[in-house]
Every structure is written in C-alpha cells, then in structure tokens.
A and B are shown apart, each in its own frame.
Chain A
Amino acid sequence: MKLVIGHFYPELLNLYGDRGNLSCLRMRLQWRGIGVTVVPLAAGEPVDFSGLDLVLMGGGSDREQELACGFLQKIKGEFYRYVEEGGTVLAVCGGYQLLGEYYQTRTKKLKGLGILGIHTTWEPARLVGNIILDSGLCADAIVGFENHGGRTWIGDYEPLGRVRLGLGNTGDGAWEGIHYKNVIGTYLHGPLLPKNPQICDLLLETALKEKYGSAVRLSPLPDELEQIAGREMVKRGRRRQGRGLFH
C-alpha cells in the first residue's frame, strides 16, 4: 500500500509549525511499513488531483493567503471534484478559510474556492489561546492552539467538535472547525496531528479506504507520549476552567 500526499504551497501557507502535520502523516505511515510520497505543490503550477490521495493545506499571513488564493482560483474546479468524489483533505487556519466562499478581510473581500458553503469575516480582536474540543471523530479530547482574526460561519455543516475550553469558529466558545465528507477544516495549530494522533490515523484510514476500496484498519502505534502531552493540557485546562482565558 502507498499514499500520495499533496502539500499545498509549502512556501506560502506554512505558518505556526503546520508542516508538523505533514511529518506526522508521513511518519505514521512509515512506522507501519506503508509507502508514502509527498508532493510539494508549487504556487501557480497545475495540479493533477487524480494522483493525490490526501491533500494538506496550511495557513499564511493575509498577504500570502491572498497570493495563494489567486493561484487556487485556477484549479478551483478540479479541487471541487476531488472533494465531492471523496478526496481526503486537511485544511488548517488559512487553508480552512480558503475552502469557503469568501473571506472578508479588513480591507478587501477575498474570493475563496467555494468548495464549502461557508464564509469568514475578519474582526480586529484576535482569538488566541489553547483550545480543547470534544469530537465524535475520536475518543480522546482534541487539543491545540487557536490564533485567528477571522470568524468562520459554517451554517448547517457539521462542526469538527464542541469547544470544551477556548473560543472556536466565531469566538463564542461553542463549535470549532468543520467536517464535510472526507474534509476536515479547523483553526487548530499545535500542530493538530502530532498532538491528536487519532485524527491523523482517521485521515490515513479514510485515504487508504478511498484508494483501495475496502476498509483499512491501521495497526496501533505506541502513543504514550502523545497521550501524556494531551492529558497534561486537559489537566491544565481543568484548573483554569471558570477563570476566563485558558493558557
């Protein structure tokens, strides 16, 4: 077995250590003896989605996101088909916003990919801090760090999780992220996958199933360190509960 991971714009969308998600996907395949190829997609070049099993998109500054947005418009149609046909996608922060219809920044309205019927509006107060979610996708709590000026309005879509501690999609502390078909969109840095290996394995299993047809059960890996790191944050969160901002 083998997976091909397309990494969208490593030179533009690379904020907040999000390339850690890539090394997590890669290593967890390698540790199980499954082949993996990473295709770094250069901005402005054509993309062959039929050769990709998993797509990863990170975030950038507003300026870089605008550049990325321009490049993505050219492959909008193919990207849309990839998602509708069950392609696996992890989009973090800026990448998450770009999947939507538009992002209203302080000064202008950036047109998104329109793959999801969601939109984002910018507000001056940034939403910053550690965050913990409860999600139907995995048994353990999802831990991470959010840092965004945009508020994302997801309408009736299924969120990634309920916010146990933190601010979430719109800053009201209710819901975070999105889960649509095989797409996960989220504001969570940390990076997300090394901290939450269950989500990583879920993405890998989904991509393998899409590629090889039958359900794949990945062999378990020793994740004690991940669990301790996650539990440590949950413990700290509990101590802070009811005392305002969670650090």
Chain B
Amino acid sequence: MRSRIAVCCAKWVYRMIHLFHLGDGAALPGAVAKRIDPGILRMLAGMVTEGVLVVLGTNGKTTVNSILYQVLKEQGKTVLANRTGANMENGITTAFVLAADAREGIQADYACIEVDENAAFTVLPQLMPAGILLTNLFRDQLDRYGEVDAVYERIRRAIFQTPDAVLILNGDDALLSDLLSECPNRAVTYGIEEAVFDEAAKPRVREGVFCRFCGRRLVYTLVHYGQLGHYYCPGCGRKRPRPDDWADRVHIEGEACCFRLDGRLLRPRMTARYQIYNILAAYAALKAVEGPVDRFGSAIEKFDFDNHRESRFYIDGASIQLYLAKNPVGFQQKLSLLCQDPGRKDVLILVNDTAQDGRDVSWLWDVDFEYLKEARPAAIVVGGKRRYDMGLRLKYEEIPCRVTEHIPKAIRKLAASGTKNLYILVNYSSLYPIHRMLCRWEEKENIYSWKEEEK
C-alpha cells in the first residue's frame, strides 16, 4: 500500500514539475517516493525479471549504459534506464518510480543503471544487481571525489555488499583489476589486445604507477592510455588478467574505426578509438549475465554515438563538433581526435567551475596541451567562468589564444568567418546549454533553407 502511494505521489510531483516548468524533475520525484516508502527502490528493483545491470567508473558510464539499453531493446527486451546525470540515489529512484505502475509495479526484463561513485555504497545493496560493470578509474573532480585511491576504496566497499553480482571489469586497467583479488565476486574481464592509441591520447601524468600490494613499479609491455595497458608486477607477480572478451584487428575504414570482437568484424559508426572499450564492456556484460548477444553486432552498427557527448552540427555552412572534456584523460582523448583531423580547424574551449564541474580547475595542468599545438588550429578561443585560467594554461604552453566573454557571439563568428571546421570542447555544465543552443540554431537554419527550396 505504502509503495503504491509512493509511486502515485512521485508521478504527481513529476507532472507538476513539468506543468509549471520547474526543472527537469530528474531527482525530486525519487526523493518524494523514498520519503514515503524508504524501501521503494529495493522493492521495484527486485521486480526486474532478468536482472539489474549497474555501470560504474570514471569515463564512459553514460555511453556504455546507452549501448546496453539500445542493444537489449533491439533484441526485443523491455528495458529501464536512468537518464544522463541522474545517477545519484534520488535520480535512480526517480527512474524506477516513473517506470512503475502503481498497481503492477515494474514490468521490465532488464534495468541498466549508471551509478555515481559517491552513491554506489548506498545504492548497490538496494539494486542487488546481477552484474556490476566497471569501465575505468581516472582522476576526476578531485574536490568532489577525492583521489583515485579513495574512489577505489569506495567502490570496493560498495561491491562487498553485493557478493552475488558478477563483476565485469576492464582488465587493462591496472587499478581496477586489483578488485579481482579483493572482492569475493565472480568476475570476467575485457581488454584490447593490440596497440591502438596514438601518443596524443596518452596523458603523461598517470595513476597507479606502483603496485597496490607490494609497492613495486609496474612494468608495461603495452600502454593504451593512462594506466590502461598490458602490465605485470615484478614484485608480487600479479598481472593483467587474460581477458574473457577482447578486441583485436583494429583498423580504420573511411572515417570509422572497425575491430574484431569474438570472431566477428564490427563496423560501428564511431571515430574515437576509446569507444572500443565501451562496446567491449557492454558485450562482456551481456554475456556475463547470460543476456542476449545474438544480434549484438547489428545493433551496435546501428548505434548512434552522438548521444550529446560527441555531436556534429552544420551551421552557417560550417561543421561544428561539440565534445565533452571533463577530466584530464577525457580531454586528452579529445585532443587526440583533433590531431587526427588533418584539415584546417578552429578550436573553442569552455571551462566552468560549477559544482557539477568541480570547483577546482587545477586539473587543466594535468592535460598535455602541447598536442593542441600539434593539431595546428587556425584560431583558439577560450571562454567560460574560468576563461582566464584556461588562457593562462595555454600561455605556459606558448599557445596564443583569444579570451571571450560572449560565447554565442564567439561561436557565430568562428562559424561564419573561420575555417568552417570548428571544434568546441566543454566541461560538464556547458555541455547541455551549448548543445541546446546549437540544436536551435541548426533547426532554424534548416527550416530556413527548406523554405528557400519551396519558393
């Protein structure tokens, strides 16, 4: 009874929020439901028939989660997933209560839930997941999360409460793979077998250079990027696990990055190589929980990697690519993409320091910006709340740039009179506002040209 009231109230709150345009209602309905019935998340999660899949890790959570969602749907399953950014307890509860029916509860085969590292400890025991997927561990928003060792510890303690879940982890990650010996859970790993990443993609500041167990320096026979690669410890002998699922024969066809997975050649619509990890992760996870993988290949080839994190727009006859670059490793990957584009280009970098971004902008100095020089942009403009800090960072790399206080105007100008090939790199809080703005501009422009044609 209590849970029924909780679901009804949450839905009513959600409707009110939208009726009066009070925000997106991603967290409040869940908070209300939890207040009425503290056991609501545990109960609804328990009704998912084939299992809950949890995605954890610094980079790639949202992409992996949407791959899982799409691939499962494509294969005829009913799937519940939480929305981007709604990955704290209230956001996750909101996803469940809004998908529930007051009388029937949840009717879903799977739930794919990305969980913030800080929420994992409280959320995991309520979700009782069938599988916990771990993408990677990099330094990110140190003022909010603390250093990677602290994040590792939080994740370890969270997993410890769910010993029945199977772990699906990136075995190339020298930090994450420590969980294999520290958690009692059954585990599978995935990895990339061959050299794939260029120098620009590899930040020089790395985590976990020394073994957690014996303190010796790890030896790498192959470095992918960060602490990802093929490693072993000469002290205690621990080493990269032999992956249960792996990618090899990576090559470029046209603009697309193709590779072989489980004996099948995949041609996904993506250019960034780190996406290989995201696809591998999803595949390994589905196999590990005995989910459907028969049509994984065709589903992934249809998958749209544009999910707001790498989007392309055409405005004023210019191609505009919007990239999220919210931490050093993520930023480095995006710089590597810039270097791979041999054409003339302009670059706009926007840095904010809201609570979502992390208040501390010191991390900009962990990015190797010399590769921005190598990408040889015609113009570099910096903006956002911490534009002067960004400008200062480039100054010490001897990269000239212009500081702007008016972002829309700067974009308009670069699009109209620049190289017609603009890259915009943003951290979290500017991503959606800029995305919305570019969508609006593009739409207007398309309506305009369509009208022209009618005449």
Interface residues of A (CB under 8 A from B): 11-12, 14-20, 23-24, 27, 43, 60-64, 67, 70, 126, 128-130, 145, 147, 189-191, 194-195, 225-226, 228-229, 232, 247
Is there a chain A Cβ closer than 8 Å to B391's Cβ?
A: yes
Bitwise, B277-300 to A at CB < 8 A (1) or not (0) is 000000000000000000000000
Given A130-B359, A225-B388, A225-B391, do A61 and B210 touch, yes or no (CB 8 Å)?
A: no
Give every chain A residue within 8 A of B395 (Cβ-Cβ): 225
CB<8 Å pairs between A and B, sample of 27: A11-B209, A11-B210, A14-B205, A14-B366, A15-B142, A16-B142, A17-B366, A18-B362, A20-B365, A43-B210, A61-B147, A61-B149, A64-B210, A126-B146, A128-B360, A145-B360, A145-B361, A145-B362, A147-B142, A190-B362, A191-B362, A195-B392, A225-B391, A228-B388, A229-B388, A232-B388, A247-B353
Inside 8 A of B147's CB, which chain A residues have their CB?
15, 60-61
Check B343 for interface membership: any CB of A closer than 8 A: no
- Check if B363 is an interface residue, CB within 8 A of chain A: yes
Residue of B nearest to A226 (CB): B392
Closest CB of chain A to B171's CB: distance in Å?
A: 21
A191 to chain B, nearest CB (A): 6
CB distance from A221 to the nearest CB of B (A): 10
Instruction: Take A147-B143, A229-B389 as given contacts and tell me if A17 and B362 are in contact as well, using a CB distance cutoff of 8 Å.
Output: yes
- Whether B362 contacts A12 by the Cβ 8 Å rule is no
**8 Å CB contacts to A: which residues of B89-129?**
none
If A18-B362, A128-B359, A191-B365 are given as contacts, then 7 extra A-B residue pairs at C-beta distance below 8 Å, sorted by A number, are A17-B366, A20-B362, A128-B360, A147-B143, A225-B391, A225-B392, A247-B353
Please indicate the chain A residues that have their CB under 8 angstroms from the CB of B388 in the complex. 225, 228-229, 232
In the complex, whether B396 has a CB less than 8 A from a CB of chain A is: yes
Q: B353 — which chain A residues lie within 8 A by C-beta?
A: 247
In contact, A17 and B364 (Cβ under 8 angstroms): yes
Nearest A residue (CB) for B139: A15
How many A-B contacts are there with CB distance less than 8 Å?
A: 90
**Nearest CB on A from B200, distance (A):** 18
Q: Does B436 contact A (CB under 8 A)?
A: no
Any A CB within 8 A of the CB of B206: yes
B148 close to chain A: CB less than 8 A: yes
| B182 nearest CB across to chain A (Å) | 14
Asked if B150 CB lies within 8 Å of chain A CBs, one says yes
Residue in A11, A15, A67, A145 whose beta carbon sits within 8 Å of that of B215 in the complex: A67
Question: Considering the chains assembled together, what is the distance between the CA atoms of A166 and B357 in angstroms?
Answer: 20
Contacting residues, chain B, for A191 (C-beta < 8 A):
362, 365
Q: How large is the interface on B (under 10, 10 to 19, 20 to 34, 35 or more residues)?
A: 20 to 34
Contact string, B408-419, partner A, CB cutoff 8 A, digits 1/0? 000000000000
Q: Give the complex CA separation of A220 and B327 in angstroms.
A: 34
Q: Evaluate whether A129 and B359 lie within 8 angstroms (CB atoms) in the complex, with A24-B396, A226-B392 already known.
A: yes
Q: Is the CB of A16 within 8 A of B396?
A: no
**What residues of B have a CB within 8 angstroms of the CB of A17 in the complex?**
362-366
Closest chain A residue to B354 by CB distance? A247
Q: A27-B396, A225-B391, A226-B392 are in contact. Are A19 and B362 (CB under 8 A)?
A: no
- B359: contacting residue among A15, A145, A194, A225, CB under 8 A: A145
Known: A11-B209, A19-B366, A128-B143. A189 touches B360 (CB 8 A): yes
| Closest 6 pairs (CB-CB, A-B) | A17-B365, A20-B365, A229-B388, A17-B362, A61-B149, A61-B147
Q: How far is the CB of A45 from chain B (nearest CB, A)?
A: 11
Partner of B210, one of A12, A194, A247: A12
Chain A min CB distance to B352 (Å): 12
Q: Report chain B residues within 8 Å CB of A63.
A: 149, 212
A17 to B366 alpha-carbon distance, docked (Å): 5
Taking a contact as CB atoms under 8 Å apart, the answer to whether B392 and A194 are in contact is yes
Within the complex, the shortest CB–CB distance from A106 to chain B, in Å, comes to 11
Tell me, rounded to whole Å, the shortest Cβ–Cβ distance linking B83 to chain A: 26
Report whether B215 and A247 are in contact in the complex, using a CB–CB cutoff of 8 Å. no
**What separation, in Å, do the CA atoms of A19 and B212 have in the docked complex?**
23
Residues on B with C-beta less than 8 A from A225 are 388, 391-392, 395
Report the bound CA distance from A24 to B362 in whole Å.
Answer: 14
Residues of B within 8 A of A60 (CB): 147
Checking A61, A67, A194 against B150 with a beta-carbon cut-off of 8 angstroms, the contacting residue is A61
- Taken residue by residue from 198 to 225, chain B's Cβ proximity to chain A (1 for < 8 Å, 0 otherwise) reads as 0000000110011010010100000000
CB contacts (< 8 Å) of A226 on chain B: these are 392
- Of B149, B210, B215, B361, which contacts A62 at CB under 8 A? B149
Contact A20–B396 (Cβ < 8 Å) = yes
CB interface residues, B 204-253, toward A, < 8 Å: 205-206, 209-210, 212, 215, 217
